Amino acid sequence: MTYRNFLSLSDAGADGIAAMLADAIDRKRARAGQPKGAVDADAPLAGRTLAMVFEKNSTRTRVSFEMAIRQLGGSAVVLDAATSQLGRGETVADTARVLSGYCDAIMVRTDDHAKLLEMAQYATVPVINGLTDDSHPCQIMADLQTILESGKALPGLKVAWLGDGNNVLASIVEAAGLMHFDVVAACPQSFALPEEAMAMGKGRARTVNDPVEAVAGADVVVTDTWISMGQAHADVKLAALAPYQVTEALMAQASPDAKFLHCLPAHRGEEVTDAVIDGPQSLIWPEAENRLHAQKAVLRWCFGQIG
Ligand code: CP
Ligand code: NVA
């Protein structure tokens, strides 16, 4: 079987991403109003099964992928570390070989990015990155879809990131380099994204310390939890990030038509106030829903049906 892995946005490149976004927007529109569990008329992945391996918690990624493969005509199997043999030390490589015998694709959510790469190395079916400590490309596909649906174009867009230099920021920066938009990340020095990850922005991403400098004139303002999964709750980190909270006052410095995005789950009152996340500029609910639509396109791309 010819297949493609979606381990990073660069695996798809600008053309692949553009094709997936167009497909996601079209298919979402085409099935509007149907029951969520109804299979798309063309059932393009009929008979295909997706294995989902979770070594970290998830609400959106788990449910949106399960519904995505269902709407495409296929089905999903979920494994988590605690109840599978992975949790008892079976290797990722052996798991990859076994799952490839049962399923047509594997989605992995794990901590160490090297485990995702190992899964892809030993699997003989497409492997999809459902989040690692280094990146979260599926999330950014949904974010880009949400931005396009808000009427904004990607080239020349100005995105402001506030807070922790984490896996979600890393994928936004990668997207900026591929899709030609600009990212200004306001992060405390000690929690900035490493230079190597910023370099994925190919000159379109920079880090500043001042939150106001980052949001000035921004078209999109994005933040995420200050403590990611697997990180210890550290008072020192929360204190360093406090000045980076997205407030109405900060949003007022952005473009008047600026949109607010957050991958969720949110820690209301930490990285963002209720007034912003529930306010008129917030697109968090369409953003969350678009995980479903964007991942349908990712699945189809992995099987060579688009791009
Ligand atoms: N945004 C996101 O990936 O959410 P989950 O952790 O709930 O999957
Ligand atoms: N940065 C967050 C994203 C959660 C979807 C984490 O890794 O926990």
Instruction: Supply the CATH number for residue 45's domain.
Output: 3.40.50.1370
For helices 9-30 and 137-149, angle between their N-to-C axes, nearest 10 degrees:
50
User: Do 143 and 132 fall within a single domain?
Assistant: no
Whether the per-residue pLDDT at 1 is higher than 80: the answer is no
pLDDT at 233: 85
DSSP-derived 3-state class of residue 233: coil
Domain co-membership, 121 together with 162: no
Cβ neighbours around 143 below 10 Å, total: 26
255 domain residue, yes or no: yes
Question: What's the CA-to-centroid distance between 166 and ligand 2, angstroms?
Answer: 8
Inside any domain, residue 198:
yes
Largest distance between two CA atoms of the chain: 54
What percentage of the chain has pLDDT greater than the value 90?
98
Segments forming the whole domain that contains residue 118 = 10-136+291-303
Same domain? For 96 and 173 the reply is: no
267 domain residue, yes or no? yes
Tens digits of residue pLDDT in 248-292? 999 999 999 999 999 999 999 999 999 999 999 999 999 999 999
Answer whether residue 283 is part of any domain.
Answer: yes
The residue whose CA has the least distance to atom 7 of ligand 1 is: 59
- Domains contained in the chain, number: 2
User: Which of 58, 140, 285 is the best mutation target for the ligand 1 pocket, counting ligand atoms within 8 Å of the beta carbon and taking the most?
Assistant: 58
State yes or no: pLDDT of 2 exceeds 90. Answer: no
Q: What is the end-to-end Cα distance of the chain in Å, rounded?
A: 17
Q: Are residues 96 and 74 in the same domain?
A: yes
Residue 5 counted as domain residue: no
43 and 101 part of one domain: yes
Q: d(Cα 286, Cα 283) in Å, to the nearest integer?
A: 6
Q: Do both 190 and 279 map to the same domain?
A: yes
Predicted confidence (pLDDT) at residue 160 exceeds the cutoff of 90: yes
Band (67; pLDDT cuts 50, 70, 90): very high
Ligand 2 pocket check: which of 135, 228, 267 to mutate, most ligand atoms within 8 Å of Cβ? 228
* 156, part of any domain: yes
Q: Are 110 and 91 in contact (CB under 8 A)?
A: no
Quick: pLDDT tens for 75-132: 999 999 889 999 999 999 999 999 999 999 999 999 999 999 999 999 999 999 999 9
Rounded mean pLDDT of 201-228? 98
Residues 186 and 242 in one domain: yes
Q: pLDDT tens, 11-45? A: 999 999 999 999 999 999 999 999 999 999 999 99
138 is in an annotated binding site: yes
**What residues are labeled active site?**
109, 136, 139, 224, 263, 291
111 within domain boundaries:
yes
Kindly state whether residue 2 falls inside one of the protein's structural domains: no
Q: Is the shortest distance between the CB of 143 and ligand 2 below 6 Å?
A: no
Q: Radius of gyration over alpha carbons of the chain, in Å? A: 19
- Please indicate, yes or no, whether residues 160 and 263 belong to a single structural domain of this protein: yes
Burial class (CB in 10 A: 0-12, 13-18, 19+), 126: buried
How does the average pLDDT of the chain come out, rounded? 98
- Which of 30, 6, 24 has its CA nearest to residue 287? 24
At position 203, the amino acid (one-letter code) is G
pLDDT > 80? residue 158: yes
In this structure, the answer to whether residues 141 and 279 fall within a common structural domain is yes
Confidence of residue 5 (pLDDT cuts 50, 70, 90): very high
Nearest to 182, CA basis, from 195, 171, 173: 173
Is residue 107 within 8 Å of 65, Cβ to Cβ? yes
Measured at the CA of 66, the angle between CA 65 and CA 71, to 5 degrees, comes to 95
Same domain, 50 and 17: yes
> Residues 277-305, buried b or exposed e (16+ Cβ, 10 A)?
beeebbbbebbbbbbbbbbbbbbbbbbee
Q: pTM (2 decimals)?
A: 0.98
